[in-house]
Chains A and B, each alone.
Chain A
Amino acid sequence: MKMSQSPWLLHYDGSSCNGCDIEVLATTTPVYNLERFGVINTGNPKHADIFLITGGINSQNAPVVKQIYDQIPDPKVVVAVGICACDGGIFKECYNILGGVDKVIPVDIYVPGCAARPEAIIDGVQKAVVLLDKKRQQMDAAVRPAAGRA
Protein backbone atom coordinates (compact mmCIF):
# COMPACT_ATOMS: atom_id res chain seq x y z
CA MET A 1 0.00 0.00 0.00
CA LYS A 2 1.29 3.39 -0.88
CA MET A 3 1.20 6.03 1.81
CA SER A 4 1.19 8.75 -0.81
CA GLN A 5 -2.52 8.08 -1.41
CA SER A 6 -3.48 9.85 1.77
CA PRO A 7 -0.68 11.45 3.73
CA TRP A 8 -1.89 13.30 6.81
CA LEU A 9 0.01 16.27 8.03
CA LEU A 10 0.54 17.87 11.36
CA HIS A 11 1.41 21.53 11.53
CA TYR A 12 3.26 23.08 14.43
CA ASP A 13 4.22 26.72 14.80
CA GLY A 14 7.73 26.95 16.22
CA SER A 15 8.46 30.60 16.76
CA SER A 16 7.25 31.93 13.47
CA CYS A 17 5.71 35.34 12.86
CA ASN A 18 2.46 33.67 11.77
CA GLY A 19 3.07 34.57 8.15
CA CYS A 20 3.98 31.01 7.15
CA ASP A 21 1.30 29.56 9.42
CA ILE A 22 -1.51 31.37 7.71
CA GLU A 23 -0.02 30.37 4.37
CA VAL A 24 0.06 26.73 5.46
CA LEU A 25 -3.60 27.01 6.45
CA ALA A 26 -4.41 28.86 3.23
CA THR A 27 -2.83 25.99 1.34
CA THR A 28 -5.34 23.56 2.81
CA THR A 29 -8.35 25.74 1.94
CA PRO A 30 -10.03 26.33 -1.45
CA VAL A 31 -8.04 28.01 -4.23
CA TYR A 32 -4.88 26.06 -3.31
CA ASN A 33 -6.69 23.04 -1.94
CA LEU A 34 -3.97 20.72 -0.72
CA GLU A 35 -6.69 18.26 0.26
CA ARG A 36 -7.10 17.23 -3.39
CA PHE A 37 -3.93 15.16 -2.87
CA GLY A 38 -5.57 13.32 -0.01
CA VAL A 39 -3.78 15.45 2.54
CA ILE A 40 -5.63 16.13 5.76
CA ASN A 41 -4.47 18.56 8.39
CA THR A 42 -4.64 16.76 11.72
CA GLY A 43 -3.96 17.84 15.26
CA ASN A 44 -2.97 14.43 16.57
CA PRO A 45 0.67 13.37 16.15
CA LYS A 46 -0.36 9.69 16.08
CA HIS A 47 -2.44 10.34 12.97
CA ALA A 48 0.28 12.20 11.12
CA ASP A 49 2.77 11.17 8.46
CA ILE A 50 4.18 14.54 7.55
CA PHE A 51 5.39 17.01 10.18
CA LEU A 52 5.15 20.51 8.81
CA ILE A 53 6.90 23.02 10.98
CA THR A 54 7.18 26.79 10.67
CA GLY A 55 9.41 29.20 12.54
CA GLY A 56 12.72 28.87 14.31
CA ILE A 57 13.56 27.00 17.48
CA ASN A 58 13.98 28.51 20.92
CA SER A 59 14.83 26.84 24.19
CA GLN A 60 11.22 26.72 25.31
CA ASN A 61 9.72 25.08 22.22
CA ALA A 62 12.63 22.74 21.48
CA PRO A 63 11.34 19.98 23.82
CA VAL A 64 7.81 20.40 22.40
CA VAL A 65 9.04 19.95 18.82
CA LYS A 66 11.16 16.99 19.86
CA GLN A 67 8.24 15.38 21.65
CA ILE A 68 5.81 15.79 18.74
CA TYR A 69 8.45 14.38 16.40
CA ASP A 70 8.93 11.34 18.62
CA GLN A 71 5.17 10.80 18.85
CA ILE A 72 4.70 10.62 15.08
CA PRO A 73 5.00 6.96 14.02
CA ASP A 74 7.51 5.89 11.38
CA PRO A 75 7.73 6.43 8.47
CA LYS A 76 7.60 10.19 8.81
CA VAL A 77 8.87 13.17 6.88
CA VAL A 78 9.73 16.57 8.32
CA VAL A 79 9.12 19.65 6.19
CA ALA A 80 10.57 22.97 7.37
CA VAL A 81 8.41 25.76 5.94
CA GLY A 82 9.81 29.25 5.61
CA ILE A 83 13.25 30.68 6.00
CA CYS A 84 12.97 30.85 9.81
CA ALA A 85 12.37 27.10 10.01
CA CYS A 86 15.22 26.52 7.58
CA ASP A 87 17.90 28.48 9.41
CA GLY A 88 16.45 31.16 11.67
CA GLY A 89 15.91 33.79 8.98
CA ILE A 90 15.61 37.41 10.01
CA PHE A 91 15.49 36.37 13.67
CA LYS A 92 18.74 34.43 13.51
CA GLU A 93 20.55 37.06 15.56
CA CYS A 94 17.91 37.21 18.29
CA TYR A 95 19.02 36.15 21.73
CA ASN A 96 16.28 33.58 22.04
CA ILE A 97 16.61 31.80 18.71
CA LEU A 98 18.76 28.70 18.47
CA GLY A 99 18.37 28.47 14.70
CA GLY A 100 16.40 26.33 12.26
CA VAL A 101 14.37 23.23 13.01
CA ASP A 102 17.32 20.99 12.10
CA LYS A 103 18.93 22.00 15.41
CA VAL A 104 16.61 19.60 17.22
CA ILE A 105 15.16 17.14 14.71
CA PRO A 106 16.28 15.85 11.29
CA VAL A 107 14.67 17.82 8.46
CA ASP A 108 13.97 16.15 5.11
CA ILE A 109 12.55 18.97 3.01
CA TYR A 110 13.34 22.67 3.22
CA VAL A 111 10.78 25.12 1.80
CA PRO A 112 12.27 28.61 1.55
CA GLY A 113 10.44 31.92 1.46
CA CYS A 114 9.37 34.74 3.73
CA ALA A 115 6.58 33.99 3.89
CA ALA A 116 6.71 30.68 1.98
CA ARG A 117 4.21 30.86 -0.88
CA PRO A 118 1.40 28.30 -1.07
CA GLU A 119 2.82 26.98 -4.34
CA ALA A 120 6.13 26.33 -2.60
CA ILE A 121 4.40 24.63 0.30
CA ILE A 122 2.46 22.36 -2.07
CA ASP A 123 5.71 21.55 -3.82
CA GLY A 124 7.33 20.72 -0.46
CA VAL A 125 4.46 18.44 0.52
CA GLN A 126 4.56 16.68 -2.86
CA LYS A 127 8.25 15.99 -2.38
CA ALA A 128 7.53 14.77 1.14
CA VAL A 129 4.94 12.34 -0.19
CA VAL A 130 7.44 10.77 -2.60
CA LEU A 131 9.94 10.47 0.23
CA LEU A 132 7.31 8.93 2.46
CA ASP A 133 6.73 6.10 -0.03
CA LYS A 134 10.45 5.55 -0.26
CA LYS A 135 10.85 5.37 3.51
CA ARG A 136 7.94 2.97 3.71
CA GLN A 137 9.51 0.71 1.09
CA GLN A 138 12.79 0.70 3.00
CA MET A 139 10.96 -0.19 6.20
CA ASP A 140 9.09 -3.00 4.49
CA ALA A 141 12.27 -4.33 2.92
CA ALA A 142 13.92 -4.39 6.33
CA VAL A 143 10.98 -6.23 7.91
CA ARG A 144 10.01 -8.78 5.20
CA PRO A 145 13.04 -11.12 5.09
CA ALA A 146 12.79 -11.63 8.84
CA ALA A 147 9.04 -12.27 8.58
CA GLY A 148 9.66 -14.81 5.80
CA ARG A 149 11.97 -16.90 7.98
CA ALA A 150 9.59 -17.04 10.92
Chain B
Amino acid sequence: MAETKLVAVDVQNLLEEATKLKSGGYRLVQMCSTRVKDGNELTYSFGKGYDLLHLRFTVGDSTQVESISHIFPPAYFYENEIHDLFGVPIEFMTVDFKGNLYRTAEKTPFKGGDSQ
Protein backbone atom coordinates (compact mmCIF):
# COMPACT_ATOMS: atom_id res chain seq x y z
CA MET B 1 0.00 0.00 0.00
CA ALA B 2 1.27 3.42 -0.89
CA GLU B 3 2.30 5.85 1.83
CA THR B 4 1.97 9.61 1.76
CA LYS B 5 4.17 12.04 3.68
CA LEU B 6 3.78 15.80 3.94
CA VAL B 7 6.93 17.79 4.63
CA ALA B 8 6.77 21.51 5.31
CA VAL B 9 9.76 23.33 3.84
CA ASP B 10 10.90 26.89 3.56
CA VAL B 11 11.02 28.54 0.17
CA GLN B 12 14.76 29.23 0.61
CA ASN B 13 15.48 25.54 1.15
CA LEU B 14 13.42 24.38 -1.79
CA LEU B 15 16.30 23.69 -4.16
CA GLU B 16 18.26 21.90 -1.48
CA GLU B 17 15.31 19.65 -0.62
CA ALA B 18 14.59 18.99 -4.28
CA THR B 19 18.20 18.02 -4.92
CA LYS B 20 18.08 15.61 -1.98
CA LEU B 21 14.96 14.00 -3.37
CA LYS B 22 16.49 13.74 -6.83
CA SER B 23 19.55 11.94 -5.50
CA GLY B 24 17.23 9.80 -3.38
CA GLY B 25 15.65 8.45 -6.58
CA TYR B 26 12.40 10.36 -6.46
CA ARG B 27 10.47 11.44 -9.54
CA LEU B 28 8.23 14.45 -9.92
CA VAL B 29 4.56 13.53 -9.70
CA GLN B 30 2.84 16.87 -9.78
CA MET B 31 3.06 20.50 -8.66
CA CYS B 32 0.03 22.36 -7.50
CA SER B 33 -0.84 25.75 -6.15
CA THR B 34 -3.73 26.64 -3.88
CA ARG B 35 -4.82 30.19 -3.36
CA VAL B 36 -4.69 31.31 0.28
CA LYS B 37 -5.07 34.76 1.74
CA ASP B 38 -2.49 37.10 0.16
CA GLY B 39 -0.47 34.28 -1.29
CA ASN B 40 -0.27 30.77 -2.55
CA GLU B 41 0.27 27.44 -0.92
CA LEU B 42 2.46 25.36 -3.18
CA THR B 43 2.54 21.59 -3.02
CA TYR B 44 5.21 19.74 -4.95
CA SER B 45 4.64 15.99 -4.98
CA PHE B 46 7.37 13.46 -5.55
CA GLY B 47 7.08 9.74 -5.88
CA LYS B 48 9.34 6.82 -5.24
CA GLY B 49 7.80 3.52 -6.17
CA TYR B 50 4.21 3.95 -5.11
CA ASP B 51 5.01 6.20 -2.13
CA LEU B 52 4.30 9.88 -2.27
CA LEU B 53 6.07 12.79 -0.60
CA HIS B 54 4.71 16.32 -0.68
CA LEU B 55 6.88 19.39 -0.14
CA ARG B 56 4.63 22.18 1.09
CA PHE B 57 5.41 25.86 1.44
CA THR B 58 3.49 29.10 1.38
CA VAL B 59 4.63 32.18 -0.46
CA GLY B 60 3.37 35.74 -0.50
CA ASP B 61 2.13 37.29 -3.73
CA SER B 62 5.45 38.89 -4.64
CA THR B 63 7.85 36.23 -3.36
CA GLN B 64 10.11 34.92 -6.09
CA VAL B 65 10.21 31.15 -6.24
CA GLU B 66 13.17 29.45 -7.81
CA SER B 67 12.47 26.88 -10.47
CA ILE B 68 13.34 23.24 -9.89
CA SER B 69 13.26 22.49 -13.60
CA HIS B 70 17.02 22.00 -13.85
CA ILE B 71 16.73 19.27 -11.20
CA PHE B 72 13.48 17.70 -12.42
CA PRO B 73 13.20 18.44 -16.17
CA PRO B 74 9.40 18.15 -16.58
CA ALA B 75 8.87 20.71 -13.80
CA TYR B 76 8.93 23.58 -16.28
CA PHE B 77 5.52 22.57 -17.58
CA TYR B 78 3.92 22.74 -14.14
CA GLU B 79 5.79 25.90 -13.22
CA ASN B 80 4.58 27.72 -16.30
CA GLU B 81 1.05 26.64 -15.45
CA ILE B 82 1.35 27.93 -11.88
CA HIS B 83 2.84 31.14 -13.21
CA ASP B 84 0.07 31.65 -15.77
CA LEU B 85 -2.92 30.71 -13.67
CA PHE B 86 -1.87 31.83 -10.19
CA GLY B 87 0.61 34.56 -10.96
CA VAL B 88 3.36 33.06 -8.83
CA PRO B 89 6.66 34.57 -10.04
CA ILE B 90 8.97 31.66 -10.80
CA GLU B 91 12.57 32.33 -11.80
CA PHE B 92 15.04 30.42 -13.95
CA MET B 93 12.70 27.95 -15.65
CA THR B 94 14.48 25.92 -18.31
CA VAL B 95 11.67 26.74 -20.72
CA ASP B 96 9.88 29.97 -19.90
CA PHE B 97 6.69 30.62 -21.85
CA LYS B 98 6.48 34.07 -20.26
CA GLY B 99 2.78 33.79 -19.56
CA ASN B 100 1.87 32.30 -22.92
CA LEU B 101 1.30 28.66 -22.02
CA TYR B 102 -2.32 29.40 -21.21
CA ARG B 103 -3.56 32.42 -23.08
CA THR B 104 -6.64 33.02 -20.96
CA ALA B 105 -9.00 35.93 -21.42
CA GLU B 106 -8.40 36.93 -17.84
CA LYS B 107 -4.78 37.00 -16.67
CA THR B 108 -3.96 34.85 -13.64
CA PRO B 109 -7.61 33.88 -13.08
CA PHE B 110 -7.01 32.15 -9.75
CA LYS B 111 -5.27 35.11 -8.17
CA GLY B 112 -8.24 37.44 -8.17
CA GLY B 113 -10.65 34.88 -6.73
CA ASP B 114 -11.51 34.61 -3.06
CA SER B 115 -10.91 31.03 -2.12
CA GLN B 116 -11.18 31.88 1.55
Contacts and interface: CB of A to CB of B under 8 A. Distances in A.
Assess A/B contact in the complex (Cβ within 8 A).
yes
Interface of A: 58-60, 95-96, 98
A98 B105 CA distance: 9
A59 B109 CA distance: 13
B106 interface: yes
A95 B103 contact: no
Contacts of A59: 103-105
A interface majority secondary structure: loop
Contact of B109 (A60, A95, A98): A95
User: Interface range on chain B: under 10, 10 to 19, 20 to 34, or 35 or more?
Assistant: under 10
Interface of B: 103-106, 109
A58 B105 CA distance: 8
Residue of A58, A60, A95 contacting most chain B CB atoms (<10 Å):
A95
A98 B106 CA distance: 11
B106 A60 contact: no
Contacts of B109: 95-96
Most chain A CB within a 10 A radius of its CB, from B104, B105, B109: B105
Nearest to B112: A95
9 contacts: A58-B105, A59-B104, A59-B105, A60-B103, A95-B104, A95-B105, A96-B104, A96-B106, A96-B109
A95 B108 CA distance: 11
Contacts of B105: 58-59, 95-96, 98
A95 B109 CA distance: 7
A95 B103 CA distance: 12
Nearest to A98: B105
B84 to A, nearest CB: 11
Given A95-B109, A96-B105, 4 more contacts: A58-B104, A95-B106, A96-B104, A96-B106
A103 to B, nearest CB: 12
For the complex of A and B, list the 5 residue pairs with the smallest distance between their C-beta atoms, beginning with the closest: A59-B105, A95-B109, A60-B103, A96-B104, A95-B106
A95 B102 CA distance: 13
A59 B105 CA distance: 6
Contacts of A58: 104-105
Nearest to A96: B104
Nearest to B103: A60
A60 B106 CA distance: 11
Nearest to A97: B105
A91 to B, nearest CB: 13
Nearest to A94: B109
A38 B105 CA distance: 40
